[in-house]
Amino acid sequence: MLTADEIGHVRSSFDMVFARATEMTTTFYNRLFELAPECRSMFPADMDVLKRDFIATLAVLVGSLDQMTGLLASTDILGRNHARYGVQPAHYPVVGEALLWTLAKSLGPHWTHEVEQAWRKVYDIIAQRMIAIPAGAPRP
Ligand code: HEM
């Protein structure tokens, strides 16, 4: 599904933002709540734990890009959790937009066309798989 080049682009760019994880996740959620203020009430008031969970999970997903079985198992768990949080399929595009915007802002000149295309593909794979798992699905 992903080429070695695409995996390489996502991994090397993720390494750069992971080094500034707190800043990156703060920018991401600020951007999300700017684009979709109606989503704010779904999240806890104190976002610190979630910020750490989000970046750690992203690291696991990015680390699994060359092992589709592992990647899909992780996204199935995430998808089931998110359905329980009340997340709807329609929420995924705006979260993707906030994530890509954050990556672009954090990476500056390193946000090339190839890097952007690779991240779009990865986000689509993860989001589509998360959406496909209903809340009541058994643990994979
Ligand atoms: C690539 C897509 C996404 C990733 C990697 C992701 C990641 C995470 C992680 C790691 C958590 C912590 C709890 C858990 O592991 O289940 C979480 C919680 C949550 N996410 Fe996501 N998420 C994504 C998409 C979305 C979308 C589209 C929404 C919709 C607005 C959303 C809303 C939430 C909410 C409401 C929580 C629960 C917060 C809480 O009550 O603690 N997420 N997400």
- Token pair, residue 107, equals 């990476």
Confidence of residue 133 (pLDDT cuts 50, 70, 90): confident
Residue 47 lies in a domain: yes
The Cα-based distances of 90 to 42, 47, 81, 95, 131 in angstroms read 14, 22, 16, 10, 9
Write the residue with the smallest CA distance to atom 3 of ligand 1. 127
The answer on pLDDT for 139 being more than 80 is no
- Token pair, residue 126, equals 């993860």
Residue 24 lies in a domain: yes
Report the domain count for the chain.
1
Confidence of residue 138 (pLDDT cuts 50, 70, 90): low
The answer on pLDDT for 90 being more than 60 is yes
Confidence of residue 1 (pLDDT cuts 50, 70, 90): confident
Residue 39 lies in a domain: yes
3-state secondary structure the chain: CCCHHHHHHHHHHHHHHHCCHHHHHHHHHHHHHHHCHHHHHHCCCCCHHHHHHHHHHHHHHHHCCCCHHHHHHHHHHHHHHHHHCCCCHHHHHHHHHHHHHHHHHHHHHHCCHHHHHHHHHHHHHHHHHHHHCCCCCCCC
The minimum-distance atom of ligand 1 relative to the CA of 86 is 35
Average pLDDT over residues 6-28: 97
CATH number at 44 reads: 1.10.490.10
The answer on pLDDT for 136 being more than 80 is no
Average pLDDT over residues 21-38: 98
Residue 43 lies in a domain: yes
User: According to the model, what pLDDT value does residue 19 have?
Assistant: 94
The minimum-distance atom of ligand 1 relative to the CA of 85 is 35
Confidence of residue 16 (pLDDT cuts 50, 70, 90): very high
CB 13 within 8 A of CB 107: yes
User: According to the model, what pLDDT value does residue 140 have?
Assistant: 52
Residue 66 lies in a domain: yes
Over residues 107-129, the pLDDT tens digits come to 999 999 999 999 999 999 999 99
Tell me the CA–centroid distance for residue 8 and ligand 1, in Å: 25
Residue 73 lies in a domain: yes
Domain span at 75: 4-132
Average pLDDT over residues 44-56: 98
Residue 55 lies in a domain: yes
